[in-house]
Amino acid sequence: MRLSRLMHRCIVAAKCRVLGPIQMNFANCSDETLLHYYESVRRQVTADKQSGGRYRLAGANVRAYADRLKDEIDRRQLRLKPIDW
């Protein structure tokens, strides 16, 4: 399974550990990095909605990735605005 560019950047830049195709360990990511990646997903979802096309770039894998990010953000008790899927 090919990782999205966003996931790849998290792995390389923040040295997060991949546990499987979707499972990730964000324990080594800074708070700022987690929030940045979550906001990146939000922008991707917004762009998808604005394109109005039949096909979506932000599919199930991106949603699962955002859910993992949100779980870690919630665990750290950081504030965020949920993504409107």
17: left (phi over 0), alpha (psi -120 to 50) or beta: beta
21: in domain:
yes
Has this prediction a pTM greater than 0.85?
A: no
Domain that holds residue 23: 5-75
Looking at the DSSP bridge assignments, the partners of residue 17 are: 25
- Res 33: pLDDT: 94
Contact status, residue 22 vs residue 68, Cβ threshold 8 Å: yes
82: in domain:
no
Contact status, residue 4 vs residue 65, Cβ threshold 8 Å: yes
Domain count, the chain: 1
54: in domain:
yes
Share the mean pLDDT of the chain: 79
- Res 12: pLDDT: 46
Q: What is the pLDDT of residues 66-80, one digit of tens each?
A: 999 999 999 999 999
Q: How many CB atoms sit inside 10 A of residue 14's CB?
A: 17
9: in domain:
yes
Q: Hunting for tokens 């409107």 — which residue is that?
A: 84
- Res 4: pLDDT: 61
Q: What is the pLDDT of residues 4-22, one digit of tens each?
A: 665 555 554 444 444 445 5
